[in-house]
């Protein structure tokens, strides 16, 4: 609690009481030599009437390799305006690999009324020659409304299933658990917010889409976690448009609005590059490379019959994915996907690579290619979000998948097992090494050790380890 009190005090001490940064700061897309820093200027210090109103002003980031900010450098001034939702965001380049950096926000209504935010930090990636241990967490299903207000009935929140702990105002307990683990980075695989909340706070227009992000990131545990843990973000259906959506049709929110809002609200692309792709890969160190893919922007209509012309990823992304995978000599090649590729999943769905009337052909063709290139013997695994339960599954090809499960208890459920006639694997061809026997929130933690071994661990939101497995470096 001391950390949160200090943080709130730092936000409240201000020469101009009308300018705050109630969502804190966030570092994103850390590479060996660059980072994107982000904050948002607000007119209130905490959630007010269900939102955080933005305020016009100016800001810049100061950064240094020293905690006392000696020999620091500063970005140019950035204007917070209604057009960018009062978000200030900048990419910093020419950093040193494997280096801890400290940064802080300088902000105010004008340059003559500047305040200084709390000290934050991030560490750049080691790059291809580094061998130090690295860990990260993978999450999905951060359902704000179900956590705070419970289940929906006839368009109203009932309170049933809502979190009841005295620490509820701080936000999701799993975030405190993650912060205590001090991972090197955090991956949100999508469903980071839920536009389609099916209640009186359903979001279809820009002002409401933005509000979903404001209320999420205003939770003190998010602010505290992201002070020192950098982020990578993917989007899925609920933070693109609505459940199992594609790009087709005019039902609000429109696809282009969902795409634009996502790029605005999280530090995923350089704000100076409007053409930047949201699929990318990062060489973390000698032993680890991660791929983050885009699952919504390029997909064919979900209802299109499956076949050679139906795609979830798009031809350009598939070509990039294959090229970068074959070029990698990392010990572990981890594809982080917003949606599952192995499962099993619910049979009725048609929006991912496991679904028989979805994009199964593309998924199987990609796995066949992985086998042809022998990448399954070179450390290739899939980590996925979307599904509301944790599992470790082995595809008939031998390719393994780890599903992070929903972050919060109220958004969790039990999954489909191999052999279930209501699953995508009624013939029980998938080998499932772990699946939850009791529904709970939680996350996946991955640690790559100095010796090249990798440790996968599933935790519940309170840090109880539910399953783990360690794999030695693959023989080449």
pLDDT digits (tens, 9 = 90+) for 50-77: 999 999 999 999 999 999 999 999 999 9
**CATH architecture, range 2-123:** Sandwich (2.60)
Residue 455: strand pairing partners: 447, 470
Pairing of strands 100-108, 57-64: antiparallel
Residue 35: strand pairing partners: 92
Model confidence at 190: pLDDT above 60: yes
- Mean pLDDT of the residues in the chain: 96
240-286 pLDDT, tens digit per residue, is 999 999 999 999 999 999 999 999 999 999 999 999 999 999 999 99
Asked if 310 contacts 152 with a C-beta cutoff of 8 angstroms, the reply is no
Secondary-structure class of domain 134-471 per CATH: alpha beta
Report which of 296, 306, 310 is spatially closest to residue 244, judged by C-alpha positions.
296
pLDDT of residue 340: 98
Mean pLDDT along residues 6-14: 44
- Give the confidence band of 439 by pLDDT, cuts at 50, 70, 90: very high
> Beta-strand (E) ranges in 286-345?
288-292, 332-337
pLDDT of residue 6: 43
Asked if 13 contacts 114 with a C-beta cutoff of 8 angstroms, the reply is no
Model confidence at 1: pLDDT above 90: no
pLDDT of residue 17: 52
pLDDT of residue 476: 62
Phi, psi of 106 (to 5 degrees): -105, 125
Model confidence at 14: pLDDT above 70: no
370-389 pLDDT, tens digit per residue, is 999 999 999 999 999 999 99
Higher pLDDT, 356 or 9: 356
Instruction: Count CB-CB contacts under 10 A for residue 159.
Output: 11
Structure tokens at 440: 């709970």
Structure tokens at 417: 């097992």
pLDDT of residue 475: 80
CA angle at 191 for the pair 381 and 92, rounded to the nearest 5°? 75
Mean pLDDT along residues 208-226: 98
Pairing of strands 288-292, 380-384: unpaired
Model confidence at 391: pLDDT above 50: yes
Higher pLDDT, 374 or 4: 374
Query: The pTM is what?
Result: 0.95
**What distance in Å separates the CA atoms of residue 424 and residue 436, rounded to the nearest whole number?**
18
Model confidence at 9: pLDDT above 50: no
Model confidence at 12: pLDDT above 90: no
Mean pLDDT along residues 325-345: 98
**What distance in Å separates the CA atoms of residue 399 and residue 42, rounded to the nearest whole number?**
46
**What distance in Å separates the CA atoms of residue 443 and residue 188, rounded to the nearest whole number?**
10
Q: What residues have CB less than 8 Å from 437, skipping those under 6 apart? A: 414
Asked if 17 contacts 108 with a C-beta cutoff of 8 angstroms, the reply is no
Q: What residues have CB less than 8 Å from 9, skipping those under 6 apart? A: none
What does the domain layout of the chain look like in residue ranges? Answer: 2-123, 134-471
Q: What is the DSSP letter of 400?
A: E
Q: What residues have CB less than 8 Å from 319, skipping those under 6 apart? A: none
Model confidence at 298: pLDDT above 50: yes
Structure tokens at 208: 């409401």
Mean pLDDT along residues 204-230: 98
Model confidence at 8: pLDDT above 90: no
Q: What residues have CB less than 8 Å from 272, skipping those under 6 apart? A: 91
Query: With pLDDT > 70 as the criterion, what percentage of the chain qualifies?
Result: 96
Ranges 16-30, 252-266, 374-388, 442-456: which has the least confidence: 16-30
CA quadruple 415, 187, 458, 356: dihedral sign: positive
- Give the confidence band of 11 by pLDDT, cuts at 50, 70, 90: very low
Report which of 210, 200, 255, 179 is spatially closest to residue 3, judged by C-alpha positions.
179
């Amino acid at each position: 609690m001391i950390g949160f009190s200090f943080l709130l005090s730092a936000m409240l001490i201000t020469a101009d009481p009308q300018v705050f940064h109630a969502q804190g700061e966030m570092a994103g897309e850390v590479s060996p030599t660059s980072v994107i820093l982000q904050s948002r200027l607000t007119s209130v210090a905490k959630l007010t009437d269900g939102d955080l109103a933005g305020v016009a002003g100016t800001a810049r980031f100061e950064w240094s390799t020293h905690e006392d900010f000696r020999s620091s450098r500063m970005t140019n001034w950035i204007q917070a305006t209604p057009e960018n939702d009062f978000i200030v965001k900048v990419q910093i380049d020419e950093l040193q690999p494997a280096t801890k950096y400290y940064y802080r926000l300088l902000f105010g209504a004008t340059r003559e009324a500047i305040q200084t935010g709390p000290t934050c930090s991030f560490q750049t990636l080691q790059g291809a020659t580094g061998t130090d241990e690295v860990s990260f967490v993978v999450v999905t299903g951060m359902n704000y409304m179900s956590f705070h207000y419970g289940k929906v009935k006839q368009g109203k929140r009932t309170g049933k299933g809502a979190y009841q702990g005295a620490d509820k105002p701080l936000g999701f307990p799993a975030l405190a658990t993650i912060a205590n683990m001090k991972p090197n980075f955090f991956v949100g695989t999508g469903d980071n917010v839920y536009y389609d909340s099916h209640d009186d706070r359903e979001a279809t227009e820009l002002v409401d889409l933005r509000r979903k992000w404001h209320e999420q990131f205003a939770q003190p545990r998010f602010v505290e976690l992201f002070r020192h843990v950098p982020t990578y973000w993917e989007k899925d259906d609920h933070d693109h448009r609505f459940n199992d959506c594609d790009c087709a049709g005019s039902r609000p929110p429109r696809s282009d609005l969902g795409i634009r809002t996502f790029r605005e609200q999280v530090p995923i692309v350089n704000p100076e590059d409007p053409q930047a792709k949201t699929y990318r890969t990062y060489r973390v160190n000698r032993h680890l490379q991660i791929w983050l893919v885009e699952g919504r922007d390029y997909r064919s209509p979900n209802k299109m019959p499956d076949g050679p012309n139906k795609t979830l990823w798009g031809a350009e992304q598939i070509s990039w994915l294959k090229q970068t995978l074959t070029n990698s000599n990392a010990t572990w090649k981890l594809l982080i996907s917003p949606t599952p590729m192995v499962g099993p999943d619910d049979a009725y769905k048609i929006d991912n690579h496991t679904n028989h009337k979805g994009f199964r052909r593309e998924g199987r063709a990609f796995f066949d290619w992985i086998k042809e290139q022998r990448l399954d013997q070179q450390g290739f695994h899939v980590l996925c979000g979307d599904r509301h339960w944790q599992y470790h599954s082995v595809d008939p090809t031998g390719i393994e998948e780890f599903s992070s499960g929903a972050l919060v208890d109220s958004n969790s459920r039990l999954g489909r097992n191999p052999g279930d006639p209501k699953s995508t694997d009624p013939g029980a061809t998938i080998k499932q090494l772990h699946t939850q026997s009791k529904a709970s929130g939680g996350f996946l933690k991955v640690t790559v050790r100095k010796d090249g071994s990798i440790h996968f661990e599933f935790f519940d939101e309170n840090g109880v380890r539910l399953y783990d497995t360690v794999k030695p470096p693959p023989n080449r």
